[in-house]
Structure 1
């Protein structure tokens, strides 16, 4: 089938979600796929070119969303921008200034450039964290786009994502130089998991260090509903298709959508155990300490961080809002996505679990070997009595 002349740009295209979106875009009838990221693996680009069989041009742009010149070139002639690039930090490793510069100002610059370059469609990868949980830990059970929730966000990351999402949604209907109007939309996936999910690695390493016992940081009743990365990628493709339909683009334009799948509702800790138990990991039934004591301990570590700030950089491994997030029931549905653009998860829970656990199995032995190597090195360094 001949290409239809459409060009898609994926920011953060070399990332966890971005790569999966690009792989699905290969199935679409496009002329070119453009990748914008600070680092782009040449092997990934070559693999994509091989997968397309020369049918679709693949172009890589090295840079980030704060680089106006790179954006001007990358957006020229583009039909649709899928903006996944952002700085993620819920620990405090990255300054508020950096989060603001990339997540907010970078998004604003990308929107402005897209308008200048007559980009018709703009899809933003948002997050459930633009909603909460709030500082009180108020729960949501099967919430949707109409759910009213008293948000008072703690993470600066969440605040920047919330502002960026609004910038995108309020740009819907903007008049382009060619006389057309831009259509914008945002997708709000819940916690994304799957192959190459870097947020699962610390839990794996901690379990290995602890004799294959995972640390429980969330109560069993603190249910959340994680979503498989390839289903999130699929939702982006379906939104892009809807934007090309003259009737549906009026429906999705200026809207946000929660994206979930049939992954069972469970706590963060129990989810990690579900994925890692086939690899020999166990999980305690209860928290390592009472929840109030966890908050108090975290508060003391945050006070220490504040006192040491003028002298050294100290970042606690956990903070009070992370404890709240891990221990708040926070689940959503994606019925509106089904209604408005026919979103049905492409991959079942069984497939998602199998693939994710297989990926974890492929790296766990190397990580265990590295741990043993470090232990041996430490033993050699100990002075002999």
Structure 2
């Protein structure tokens, strides 16, 4: 279904080098006294968003302004501006069409990274839908209304899987057949939002051009400011930096460094303007040279340098017991919801994800827009370790 949707949307722009594709080609505007583009990053103060903003300022040519749109602003990002690039902080709610429209107006490229990530039941499902689905519709509508041609959506591997049946996805690519079945609000919302973005490709926008869209699917981001890594670290301190193995070594997951995900966004933003018919309507997995390992073993690649130890070469806790604990946690969460929030990391969904192999093997991004990882695995790991060791709230 995903392949059919992508293909249909891609065909809406016509063949490369002709048809509507030519009319989507970027015509530069004058901004701030010179020729350049305005980029808008929704969710720009979040984990990935802040790396995107920095990458655009430091490594993207022909950028006049980077707008940072978020519900909570980080003043430090405003200091990243240079004589050539202006950084503008915009306080706003992605679920408000008025706020989104004001931010999009005058932008050339929108990177829609704003998302409410919750797989633990900490947030009501309707709030997840409001932000991830309705917020995405607001972005699409604003691009159409204000004539913004280029929209990149930060999707997720969870639009594909792992599915609730536990079927492995081993070295798959963007066209691999996989029975994606979802029950949780977060993957459902991301899948719906991605589909909306891809189907919007080729839609006429104000000014006589057409909207060009694509989606990037990170397969598990790590790096500086990663909130879940910080949570793992803090919980590990409570157990004396000793962690018990719960997942078999044979279970593998794809991980990708946040700097490389940001770099991929920058590259595809350039190429979709040069070859809109080739990029429009496409989805891309995010990948780099980070090793395929279980979540536990990968995290130890980072945490071992901070004095952590993973005990056991085989799972110390049997899977049936983990399953019982996950079900008990989910039951307690439901029972206690009227009184207070109880949402531990372990629940049936997170256990299924951690226990199911999901790895990708693809060069689609390299073929379509020349992507090569900007950071090696060694540098990615070193930068993440340095952040953990320097973060004053963690040590």
TM-score, structure 2 length as denominator? 0.88
**Among 52, 55, 66, which residue is 2:95 paired with?**
66
Secondary structure of the structure 2 residue equivalent to 1:6: strand
Report if aligned partners of 1:172, 1:254 keep a CA contact under 8 Å in 2.
yes
Deviations 1:76-106 (A, max 9, x none): 1111100000000010000001000000001
Secondary structure of the structure 2 residue equivalent to 1:367: coil
The runs of 5 or more residues in structure 2 that have no matched partner are 1-32
Report if aligned partners of 1:203, 1:214 keep a CA contact under 8 Å in 2.
no
Report if aligned partners of 1:20, 1:230 keep a CA contact under 8 Å in 2.
yes
Q: Say whether 1:354 aligns with 2:385.
A: no
TM-score, structure 1 length as denominator? 0.90
Structure 1 range deviating more: 327-336 or 253-262: 327-336
1:221-260 equivalences in 2 (<5 Å) = 221-245=250-274, 248-260=275-287
**2:372 corresponding residue in structure 1:** 344
Deviations 1:121-172 (A, max 9, x none): 0000000011111111110111101111111113210100000000100000
Q: Distance in 2 between matches of 1:366 and 1:240?
A: 35
RMSD after superposition: 1.5
Q: Distance in 1 between matches of 2:339 and 2:72?
A: 32
Q: Distance in 2 between matches of 1:240 and 1:121?
A: 8
**1:154 corresponding residue in structure 2:** 183
**Shift of the alpha carbon at 1:314?**
3.1
Secondary structure of the structure 2 residue equivalent to 1:300: helix
Report if aligned partners of 1:32, 1:59 keep a CA contact under 8 Å in 2.
yes
Deviating runs (4+, > 6 A) in structure 1? none
The runs of 5 or more residues in structure 1 that have no matched partner are 369-385
**Among 9, 21, 30, which residue is 2:40 paired with?**
9
Report if aligned partners of 1:77, 1:117 keep a CA contact under 8 Å in 2.
yes
**1:56 corresponding residue in structure 2:** 85
1:89-108 equivalences in 2 (<5 Å) = 89-108=118-137
**Among 347, 363, 387, which residue is 1:335 paired with?**
363
**Shift of the alpha carbon at 1:55?**
1.1
Q: Structure 1 residues 270, 41: closer, same or farther in 2, change over 3 A?
A: same
Q: Say whether 1:322 aligns with 2:353.
A: no
Matched residues, number? 360
**2:219 corresponding residue in structure 1:** 190
**Among 113, 122, 125, which residue is 2:154 paired with?**
125
Q: Structure 1 residues 311, 199: closer, same or farther in 2, change over 3 A?
A: closer
Q: Distance in 2 between matches of 1:56 and 1:262?
A: 31
Deviations 1:165-207 (A, max 9, x none): 0010000000012110010000001100011111101211121
**2:309 corresponding residue in structure 1:** 282
**Shift of the alpha carbon at 1:288?**
3.4
Report if aligned partners of 2:41, 2:68 keep a CA contact under 8 Å in 1.
yes
Q: Distance in 2 between matches of 1:10 and 1:92?
A: 27
Q: Say whether 1:39 aligns with 2:68.
A: no
**Shift of the alpha carbon at 1:309?**
4.0
